[in-house]
Structure 1
């Protein structure tokens, strides 16, 4: 499938400039209404990217699945040196 393409005019929007994204372009770029985006100036123009939401520590821990061969203890060996209690 060929990428969607459209020509649009840059319009004044208050003290800024704005463009309209046709629905076909927005769908193909996985953009949705009120979604946070990041704008970057590149050599050929402006790159528009969705901002990826950062997971909280609780969300990251909840999604963690240890590998089958992964040890379950932090220290799977005997204490050495100053760790040894008399």
Structure 2
């Protein structure tokens, strides 16, 4: 598949065809990584950092580790 470079203000732009955007879950406002290499340009969706809720949703009774007792650290009474 090919596309053309177009002028957009003082910059240049390319269009991402809808079927490719849908396949990669790219929409208006998506952040992309722009990688320049010896073989050309690579664009890929920027990986989003997971939220605490995303990480906690993956915790299950099967993958949860047991509590660890480190003993007393200071002058604790209990």
Scaled by the length of structure 1, the TM-score of the pair is 0.62
Residue of structure 2 in register with 1:23 after alignment: 18
C-alpha change, 1:65 and 1:43, in structure 2 (3 Å) is same
RMSD: 2.8
Which residue, out of 46, 65, 68, partners 1:70?
65
Q: Which runs of 5+ in 2 are unaligned?
A: none
Q: What is the number of residues matched between the two proteins?
A: 74
Give the structure with the higher percent strand.
Answer: 2
Larger-Rg structure: 1
Matches within 5 A, 1:1-86: 6-56=1-51, 58-60=52-54, 62-68=56-62, 70-71=65-66, 73-75=67-69, 79=71
Tell me, in whole angstroms, the C-alpha distance in 2 between the residues paired with 1:30 and 1:61: 21
Q: Which runs of 5+ in 1 are unaligned?
A: 1-5
Displacement of 1:8 in angstroms is: 1.4
Displacement of 1:41 in angstroms is: 0.6
